[in-house]
Structure 1
């Protein structure tokens, strides 16, 4: 029998013996190394009065450690089989009363109040979960989360870095982000195909004085062609048409008259000239640059929402 098939068969037998066949559709890779679990818990600086949120608790290896440290753990799990496993693990112990389980898709659920989030998440929900957490109110203190390594590197990338992208600038606008540790694939059961990293995310409180919907709209356009000049990016007919439509709606709502000879393409060029933006590229702009660019557009009643 070929080696690949033998290895796969051995892995399936091992998982079957444990009583749970992990669901690849849910991105289930259970963190099995107790030293990494302990390190993540310690980096979270938990307090006895805290409410901790855990996304994707799996069989409860992290959950039990959290329950020992905090007043309450809210565990959000989509797989009913793992919910049963988690309940069984704490049943009849002093930790049972501290555990609240939310069954369902965390992205479709209203998150309750929590102080800290500690999680080894399904990697396919990384980006939407980050922004769901960062836009959640009231503010939480920090999140310590396991991500795919390249995603983690994008979160912390700086202007000019190869991995610097819209995710980088949008996240760093709303939070301070730090890489804590690298985690090899063999620390999981079953092992994922990618390497992982743990990241600490601390929301900026108070948040920056910017409409995030507008900000996101601007960075979406700018990073669509991050290596092209802003002049080239904003000259695209789809961009000009979209901004012209939003300009018309905004002016209508505010009762601002629009001149008959108004030319959105020319207006965009004029805005870009005000700050010598035409030759700049999104991959080199930092948060302050995007703030100034958004302000320049808004002054001319050009909006991105």
Structure 2
């Protein structure tokens, strides 16, 4: 009969290595979780959450907003409130729009029981879907993935607000302020500068955030033109799309592509039909477009070096001939 040998494992020296690794990993995860709780709530990377932790930078942003005691401030993405508490000191009311309910709860706790509690209104939800209230100034540490749509939603807001101080990825910010001839001058630059005066006011290094983003940041101040220019934005942007597809090519070259000609011819025929206008027979759309470019002296100009006045003059000349871009 086989002999049964009973053996006790020495836990310190003979425990299976896999069990040791599992316990070590669990301990490490527990420590990381505790550290995270000590420094605030977990951040949602999908929402682009990077909390500004440097109080000097936060104060600088608030100072550049030139707030008045009577102001209502719209803050987009307040996070845990590092900017919010400084804004509350300077204005009458803050409406903070926060998508993450956990961060909204942190912000609520932060001001609870303080004199500023009654001055803070928190809207939980997606800023892009929210109906915005009246505000005088907007301040935002902007989630970078919504930068462009955020800018245009603000510019479309009525009544026109006084100014906004907005944090963006460095390159995006530099596009907003780029001038004719700059390498970053683009359709975004032209479209935003049509409706607002934009200036770069501050660089912010990635180490000023928790967790640090992968890119450097900048702060810009945007002051909407009031009243807004009397320009149909869809029409304007339709022209910009054509000009900036190849911004370093001549305007004449950009308007010769088949797709552009087909679109303009369709629009022209529709315009003539809806305005009881006689249409040329036969219609030579290329010659008509080139005639406009020659008339305004811009056939050999390049979008990369043109300014707002040039674009407005060009759009008006096309419209006079019944040529439209939307």
Q: TM-score range by the shorter chain?
A: over 0.9
Larger Rg: 2
Query: Structure 1 residues 10 and 237, CA, compared in 2 at 3 Å: closer, same or farther?
Result: farther
Q: SS at the partner of 1:182?
A: strand
Aligned residue in 1 for 2:120: 99
RMSD (CA atoms): 1.8
Query: Structure 1 residues 276 and 71, CA, compared in 2 at 3 Å: closer, same or farther?
Result: same
Q: SS at the partner of 1:61?
A: coil
Aligned residue in 2 for 1:164: 185
Aligned residue in 2 for 1:151: 172
Residue 207 of structure 1, CA deviation: 1.6
Which of 114, 121, 124 is residue 145 of structure 2 equivalent to? 124
Query: Structure 1 residues 62 and 297, CA, compared in 2 at 3 Å: closer, same or farther?
Result: same
Q: Tell me whether 1:198 sits opposite 2:228 in the alignment.
A: no
Q: SS at the partner of 1:107?
A: coil
- Of 46-55 and 107-116, more deviation after overlay is shown by 107-116
Residue 127 of structure 1, CA deviation: 0.9
Q: Distance in 1 between matches of 2:283 and 2:81?
A: 61
Taking structure 2 as the reference length, what is the TM-score of the superposition?
0.87
Q: Distance in 2 between matches of 1:58 and 1:258?
A: 58
The number of residues matched between the two structures is: 298
Q: Tell me whether 1:72 sits opposite 2:109 in the alignment.
A: no
Aligned residue in 2 for 1:233: 254
Residue 48 of structure 1, CA deviation: 1.0
Q: Distance in 1 between matches of 2:314 and 2:106?
A: 51
Residue 11 of structure 1, CA deviation: 7.9
Taking structure 1 as the reference length, what is the TM-score of the superposition?
0.93
Q: SS at the partner of 1:36?
A: helix
- Of 71-80 and 244-253, more deviation after overlay is shown by 244-253
Which of 305, 310, 322 is residue 284 of structure 1 equivalent to? 305
Residue 114 of structure 1, CA deviation: 0.4
Gaps of 5+ in 2: 1-29
Aligned residue in 2 for 1:50: 71
Q: SS at the partner of 2:83?
A: helix
Q: Distance in 2 between matches of 1:88 and 1:255?
A: 65
Aligned residue in 2 for 1:33: 54
